[in-house]
C-alpha cells in the first residue's frame, strides 16, 4: 500500500503547484522591473541601478504599470492616454479631435464636432497621431521609460547640471524601436533627490553636441506617481496633468474638446 500513498502525495504536490502557478505568474508580472526587449546585457550595471533608483523615487514600476489614464497639455495639444488599452485621444486647438488605437493605428477624427469622412484627410490625421503620442509622451514620462524595449543605458560618470548641482550622468540609446531610433539622450540624475533634473537631446547618436539641454523639474505627485511639469520655459512646460484610473467613456470619445477639469 505504500506506493499508493506516495502516488497520492505526488498528485497533491502537483495539484498545489498548478494552483500556485497563476499566483507566481502574477507576482512575476507585478515585480517586473523592465519591459521585454530592454537591453540589459548591453547596459552598464551602474546605469541600470540608477535607472531603478529614479523609477522607484517616481513611485515605482508597479505604480506606473498600474496607472491607467494620463492626461496633459503640451504645446497647444491636449492628450489623454489609456495605458491599459493603448487608446489615445488628441485635441489640437479648439476644433480638432482624434481618437485612435495606438496598436492598430486606426481611429476617428473630428473637426468642430463633425466626423471627418474624407478618407485621405482622416487617414493623414490618424496616422500622424502615433508620432505625436510617441514624442509628447516622452517629454512627459521619460523617467518611467528608461528601461523600455530597445533601450541601452550607459553610465557616463559624474557631472554638474547647468545650475551647478552634482549629478550622475547616464546615456540612453535605442535599437530598432520608436519613431526616431537614432536619437540619444544624456540624463542628469541629481545626487540628493535621485531624480532626473536635466536632459540633453542629441538628434543623432553620433553628434558631439546636443541639440538642446533643458531642465526637468517641478515634480509633483499625481495619483501614485510623480511627474515633472517644467522644461525650462512656459511654451515647453506641461499643464493640465492628471493621473486617474477612471474616465467616463463620453469624455474619452467626445467629438468635441472636453472640459479638462473633469479629467482628474
What mean pLDDT comes out for the span 224-248?
96
- In this structure, are 4 and 82 located in the same domain? no
Report yes or no on 185 lying in a domain: yes
**Whole-Å CA distances, 87 to 67, 218, 231, 235, 264:** 14, 28, 26, 26, 18
- Long-range (24+ apart) CB contacts under 8 A made by 210-216 are 210/186, 213/162, 215/161, 215/162, 215/163, 216/142, 216/187
Higher pLDDT, 34 or 41: 41
What are the tens digits of pLDDT across the range 197-226? 999 999 998 999 999 999 999 999 999 999
- Residue 84 falls within a domain, yes or no? yes
pLDDT exceeds cutoff 50 at 128? yes
Q: What is the pLDDT of residues 160-192, one digit of tens each?
A: 999 999 999 999 999 866 566 788 999 999 999
Shared domain for 127 and 202, answered yes or no, is yes
Q: In whole numbers, what is the pLDDT of the chain averaged over residues?
A: 88
In terms of domains, do 121 and 22 share one? Answer: no
Whether 188 and 197 have beta carbons less than 8 Å apart is answered as: yes
Amino acid at each position: 500500500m505504500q506506493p499508493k500513498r506516495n502516488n497520492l502525495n505526488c498528485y497533491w504536490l502537483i495539484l498545489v503547484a498548478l494552483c500556485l502557478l497563476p499566483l507566481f505568474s502574477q507576482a512575476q508580472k507585478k515585480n517586473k522591473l523592465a519591459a521585454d526587449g530592454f537591453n540589459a546585457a548591453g547596459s552598464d550595471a551602474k546605469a541600470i541601478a540608477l535607472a531603478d533608483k529614479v523609477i522607484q523615487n517616481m513611485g515605482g514600476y508597479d505604480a506606473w504599470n498600474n496607472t491607467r489614464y494620463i492626461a496633459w497639455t503640451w504645446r497647444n495639444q491636449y492628450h489623454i492616454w489609456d495605458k491599459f488599452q493603448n487608446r489615445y485621444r488628441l485635441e489640437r486647438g479648439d476644433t480638432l479631435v482624434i481618437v485612435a488605437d495606438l496598436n492598430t493605428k486606426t481611429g476617428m477624427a473630428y473637426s468642430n464636432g463633425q466626423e471627418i469622412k474624407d478618407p485621405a484627410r482622416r487617414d493623414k490625421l490618424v496616422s500622424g497621431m502615433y508620432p505625436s503620442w510617441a514624442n509628447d509622451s516622452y517629454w512627459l514620462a521619460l523617467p518611467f521609460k528608461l528601461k523600455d524595449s530597445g533601450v541601452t543605458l550607459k553610465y557616463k560618470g559624474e557631472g554638474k547640471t547647468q545650475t551647478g548641482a552634482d549629478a550622475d550622468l547616464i546615456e540612453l540609446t535605442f535599437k530598432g524601436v520608436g519613431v526616431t531610433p537614432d536619437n540619444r539622450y544624456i540624463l542628469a540624475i541629481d545626487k540628493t533627490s535621485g531624480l532626473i533634473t536635466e536632459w540633453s537631446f542629441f538628434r543623432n547618436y553620433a553628434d558631439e553636441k546636443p541639440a538642446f539641454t533643458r531642465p526637468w523639474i517641478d515634480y509633483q505627485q499625481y495619483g501614485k506617481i510623480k511627474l515633472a511639469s517644467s522644461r525650462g520655459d512656459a511654451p515647453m512646460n506641461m499643464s493640465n496633468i492628471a493621473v486617474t484610473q477612471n474616465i467616463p467613456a463620453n469624455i474619452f470619445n467626445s467629438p468635441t474638446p472636453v472640459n479638462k477639469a473633469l479629467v482628474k
